Structure 1
Amino acid sequence: MLSLTIKDLKQFMNKLLISDTFDGMCLSEAYICTGCSYTIDGKLNTDFYNEDELNSMPSARYTSWKNIKPFAFSIIKGRKVPELLKITFVLPEAVVAKLILDTDLNFDPDCVNGLFLNVRYQDGSVTMTTASSLSTFTLDRSLDEAFERYIINFLSDADISYEE
């Protein structure tokens, strides 16, 4: 598990809530605590969509952050910052499969329930942690390590500074 603290809060929040930096990720869950609490479940209600719509989505299980971001931003914007913001991103299945292929790992993508990036804002600080969920037990940490490198590269490419 990788744990990082974001150095530039204002820049990070801009990239999270305004720019398209995180638009390629899917949302597992978001929790926002302002004057009241909001919970957003990112799991898709597949009965709501037709087959063409489902096929055009980046994930078969989760909605994209791009779709939810305007709602999250509308809750957060204002004079006061949230007391707590927790966002759990999950990589789309195609990105997980490409990561496994590109890093030549001995994992079946169908055994990966999710590669998660947890973002937590509280008391003026943002921390990020990685996590993985597999449907089979293994002591092999190569997928976790590849995902951690992926996140480090993602943050570097997005010019988001952090400390471990």
Structure 2
Amino acid sequence: MIALRIEDIRQFTAKLFVGETFDHFLIKEAEIVTFNVFTIDGHIRQGYYSEEELEENQMEELSSWKMIRPYCFSLIKGKKLPGSFQIVLQMPPQAVDKFVTGHQMPLKADQVNGLYLNIRYEEGKLFCVTGTSVSIFTLDKTLDMEWDQAVRSFLKKNEIIFQEE
């Protein structure tokens, strides 16, 4: 797990809320504080969509950031900055499979519960914190190190300037 302080908050939030940079992630949860506290649970409610809609839109357990992003943007846009926000993004299961296989991990893809990017803005500072979850006990930190490096590379590729804390 690493904490990365984002240098250019305006540029980052534009990429997060307006651009498509983070659209391939799923959203686990979000909390946006403006004149109220708005909480979003990214889990798709069973029964809301038909089986055809779920299959057609390739929806599984969590909503995509692409689907939820316009709602979150509508909460923060305006003349005043939000008081704070916290967004937990998760790599989709298919991408986890590819990530684990491509990095020759000592774990199997089905042992990885999630690869997370926690985005937190408060008191005028914005941080991205990495996180992993596995279903077995292991002392091996290969997954953590590879995910940390993948997030660094993702930010650099998208020209997001950061400092490690």
TM-score computed with the length of structure 1 as normaliser: 0.95
Aligned length: 164
Task: Give the corresponding residue for 2:140.
Answer: 140
Matched, 1:117 2:127: no
- Aligned identity (percent) is 38
Matched, 1:68 2:55: no
Q: Partner of 2:131: helix, strand, or coil?
A: strand
Task: Give the corresponding residue for 1:152.
Answer: 152
Give 1:1-164 correspondences, 5 Å limit: 1-57=1-57, 60-164=60-164
Residues 101 and 109 of structure 2 are in contact (CA less than 8 Å); yes or no, is this contact kept in structure 1? no
5+ residue gaps, structure 1: none
5+ residue gaps, structure 2: none
Q: 1:101 to 1:20 in 2, by over 3 A?
A: same
**Bigger Cα displacement from structure 2, 54-63 vs 75-84:** 54-63
Give the Cα–Cα distance (whole angstroms) in 1 for the partners of residues 59 and 107 of structure 2.
19
Q: 1:45 to 1:115 in 2, by over 3 A?
A: same
Could you say what the CA RMSD is over the residues aligned between the two structures, in angstroms? 1.3
Give the Cα–Cα distance (whole angstroms) in 1 for the partners of residues 145 and 61 of structure 2.
24
Residues 46 and 54 of structure 1 are in contact (CA less than 8 Å); yes or no, is this contact kept in structure 2? no
